[in-house]
Structure 1
């Protein structure tokens, strides 16, 4: 890559996630040359002023590039000006592919925070081979969706001292007391929009996956059973539901890659989310049912997008969450892993165990401000890792899920360095 290129350009920097990525870049990208890009110079300059004041650093000399999704030449020109594009401009279903295509053409790496399985798997289907040929890494799900889950499984396997058969994850999130009582945790409008269209087009996934993975993974026993729709988890003492986000699909893409690449026994995984009471869990089921039904029809989607606060129970709005609520929002993801001790390892990874698992490991990934602190730190940390440790990444390029890309790097250590990073810890090892 040309010497005059910047290390990083943050695309979509004037958006909600983009501006907080600019703020975190001051520390995470310290020592690197970075710039920002978007459609409107005035808005980009405003972000630099606002986030510079917040970070107590003069950002006025930060390079600005004008690039617009509707102008593919501008995207290509932007991609040619850096080594990696950090893409915060969603929904990626509508805006992601043109940026990915421009980056591959320019020989520039690309990371984003998509939690949209249809987009991620379509990009792998269409661009994986070309990315390998160009020596480009394209990695999605590099935010709260789904770094804690995917890299959490990596952390589990590194500390298990044996063979992992299955992992169950239990996500908890809430708001610490204090601060402005009128604020609450929430989602910005772009995240809500992505969820609406993602669910509306969820039936596309089967066809995409049949093309992407024409041969199914072999079954490994014992099979991990699904829990009931609503259940009390003894692992976290919460009422739990299946987690509807992208975590499981991302983890299984990584496990599929590691099986194909390294012949490593794939870890089975189910994801759940916990609530404080049966009433809270039942209310979520009710909201989710209404949301799912409405998303299937044009008039329903129109209403969901026009009145996000009403149909999300106050969690989503066009204004997005306040800084106070973001800073007080915490998350904990607990992992229950079962498998066999190192002394019981079989000769080949494809061999089947005849005895049930004998070993359990409990770990936790936790942090603050998951949507716009931990997400932005994780996104920038993946970019930093590609720039510093591409020699530890597979195949000299490709369209990959996070653990497939970063399982042999020091990404977890990088995530643990920062105020809005993530803590990885062992809770119990039996």
Structure 2
């Protein structure tokens, strides 16, 4: 293991030839940070060269960007690459298949890690197996640094911090609605969703556990998706939000870690996510959840049928084109209620998080890159620099909020209601 301060690279993008990996590299090229030393890593030299050529059209100085050959199945190649960098960004999914060896190598080599996974069963494996080792070596391992789950996680962190700092009150309830979204999906995302559905390492009971990833239990209980109208979100219909399956668990892990640090959002903290729809789409989605999804989950458990169905799905590497990505955007709203005495006036705030690129393949690339840059640029100022398997909020806190909102890249704001 080489000395951390003497390493050749500030960061390496692992999986740079994949769809999300290449776009993350483009984001790093766009910011043109002359003080950043970085490299591309992947299995195929020819494909890495193609990505580098694309980057050189954005910033000609990147024509000589270093290319590193590494394979998630070859420990020696991982150790060689990671011993040269302070931080690695991983976009190689499904993470349950390819992610663990890289994280293990990061802990061996003393390299900090961020990724774009939304595979919470895999994150649970990391916590159980590697959290203590990462803490002992003070290595930050931070999954879910994309659209799932940074907007949710930092949004809740933001409204809680506002409630504490302005009103000196704890938060008892936060609800979030994705009120507007425009974006595409990639084959890698589809493949990751399938991996979650077919994962045999986690029971159905654990899948439903609100505190699966948390360090302690809270007051939230398992619940089934329902539709309802909510005045706080324009009196629109609220229905199931696909990413809530991971986002809610990540937010509750953040709550538990902050509580362990003596900075809890609130002892009675509850959290729920929905998505805003018109009535008929909300009803149709809910019916699908109770009929088609359970049937598909059963079929995926039959190996022959699972292989046949997987072959019909988009392959990794596919995704929305540049024109589609340029039209992407999203807006989330958070309603937070303070913990007050029974006869006191209710104190409530509204938080808003907005992104102006495709959520999965524009803003995700921004978010994972800026997460890595938090470590590169501001390690000593980060709340999570003691290491462990962390969430974005507990790893980066206000440092990441500031980076994401710089020059209007994203909006994170909160106001009293």
Match of 1:362, SS state, is: strand
**What's 1:350 paired with?**
none
Q: Would you say 1:360 and 2:348 are equivalent positions?
A: yes
Pairwise CA distance, 1:380: 1.0
Match of 1:50, SS state, is: helix
Q: Which moved more, 1:44-53 or 1:34-43?
A: 44-53
| CA 1:226–1:122: 2 relative to 1, 3 Å | closer
**What's 2:39 paired with?**
35
Cα distance between partner residues in 2 of 1:29 and 1:22: 11
**What's 1:72 paired with?**
75
| CA 1:111–1:61: 2 relative to 1, 3 Å | same
Aligned pairs (5 A) from 1:158-197: 158-160=161-163, 161=167, 162-175=169-182, 185-197=183-195
**What's 2:17 paired with?**
14
**What's 1:52 paired with?**
56
Q: Would you say 1:306 and 2:306 are equivalent positions?
A: no
**What's 1:388 paired with?**
377
Task: Report if the CA contact (8 A) 1:189-1:320 is conserved.
Answer: yes
**What's 1:406 paired with?**
396
**What's 2:410 paired with?**
422
| CA 1:319–1:396: 2 relative to 1, 3 Å | closer
Aligned pairs, number: 396
Pairwise CA distance, 1:294: 1.4
Q: Which moved more, 1:288-297 or 1:327-336?
A: 288-297
Aligned pairs (5 A) from 1:31-430: 31-53=35-57, 55-160=58-163, 161=167, 162-175=169-182, 185-201=183-199, 204=202, 206=205, 216-217=216-217, 219=219, 229-237=226-234, 238-245=236-243, 246-262=246-262, 264=264, 265-266=266-267, 267-275=269-277, 277-288=278-289, 289-296=291-298, 297-298=301-302, 299-308=304-313, 319-340=318-339, 358-368=346-356, 369-391=358-380, 392-394=382-384, 396-407=386-397, 409-417=398-406, 421-426=409-414, 428-430=415-417
Cα distance between partner residues in 2 of 1:212 and 1:332: 27
Task: Report if the CA contact (8 A) 2:214-2:256 is conserved.
Answer: no
Task: Report if the CA contact (8 A) 1:28-1:381 is conserved.
Answer: no
Task: Report if the CA contact (8 A) 2:325-2:361 is conserved.
Answer: yes
* TM-score, normalising length: structure 2: 0.87
| CA 1:371–1:231: 2 relative to 1, 3 Å | same
Pairwise CA distance, 1:416: 1.0
| CA 1:203–1:92: 2 relative to 1, 3 Å | closer
* TM-score, normalising length: structure 1: 0.84
Q: Which moved more, 1:36-45 or 1:382-391?
A: 382-391
| CA 1:304–1:166: 2 relative to 1, 3 Å | farther
Cα distance between partner residues in 1 of 2:337 and 2:211: 32
Match of 1:20, SS state, is: helix
Cα distance between partner residues in 2 of 1:210 and 1:413: 29
**What's 1:180 paired with?**
none
| RMSD, aligned CA | 2.8
Pairwise CA distance, 1:326: 1.4
Structure 2: gaps spanning 5 or more residues = none
Task: Report if the CA contact (8 A) 1:67-1:74 is conserved.
Answer: yes
Match of 2:395, SS state, is: helix
Pairwise CA distance, 1:3: 1.2
Match of 2:158, SS state, is: helix
Cα distance between partner residues in 2 of 1:115 and 1:226: 20
Match of 1:90, SS state, is: coil
Pairwise CA distance, 1:417: 1.9
Task: Report if the CA contact (8 A) 1:28-1:380 is conserved.
Answer: no
Task: Report if the CA contact (8 A) 2:216-2:256 is conserved.
Answer: no
Q: Which moved more, 1:284-293 or 1:78-87?
A: 284-293
Q: Which moved more, 1:35-44 or 1:284-293?
A: 284-293
Structure 1: gaps spanning 5 or more residues = 176-184, 310-315, 345-352
Pairwise CA distance, 1:203: 7.4
Task: Report if the CA contact (8 A) 1:118-1:202 is conserved.
Answer: no
